[in-house]
Amino acid sequence: MKARVTVTLKNGVLDPQGKAIQGALKSLGFSGIEDVRQGKLIELELAGTDRAQAEAELTDMCEKLLANTVIENYRIELI
């Protein structure tokens, strides 16, 4: 079973990489961009077929390693 975990910064947390991307896009001539927030996408291949168990394990992974829950949100998607 495949899974995707999307990790993004919480609202109100400064995103210097997002600002750098925004500035680079502006310098390349792209206009109308009001804000850029960047995150990370993690794809996992999981053994087994139990969706409930997979979701529980993925949540545990996110809480312990994949996301800093003080400043980041995460979203789990089973494919």
Question: Which of 33, 32, 46 minimizes the C-alpha distance to 4?
Answer: 46
Q: Identify the CATH assignment for 2-78 out of 3.30.70.260, 3.20.20.150, 3.30.1280.10, 3.10.150.10.
A: 3.30.1280.10
pLDDT at 68: 98
pLDDT cut 90: percent of the chain above it: 99
pLDDT at 62: 98
pLDDT at 40: 97
Q: How does DSSP assign 39-55, residue by residue? A: EEEEEEE-SS--HHHHH
The tens place of each residue's pLDDT in the chain, 79 residues long, gives 999 999 999 999 999 999 999 999 999 999 999 999 999 999 999 999 999 999 999 999 999 999 999 999 999 999 9
Which residues does 15 contact at the CB level (< 8 Å), separation at least 6?
Answer: 9, 36, 37, 38
Q: Where are the domains of the chain?
A: 2-78
3-state helix, strand, coil in the chain (%, to 5): 35, 30, 35
77 φ, ψ (degrees, to nearest 5): -135, 120
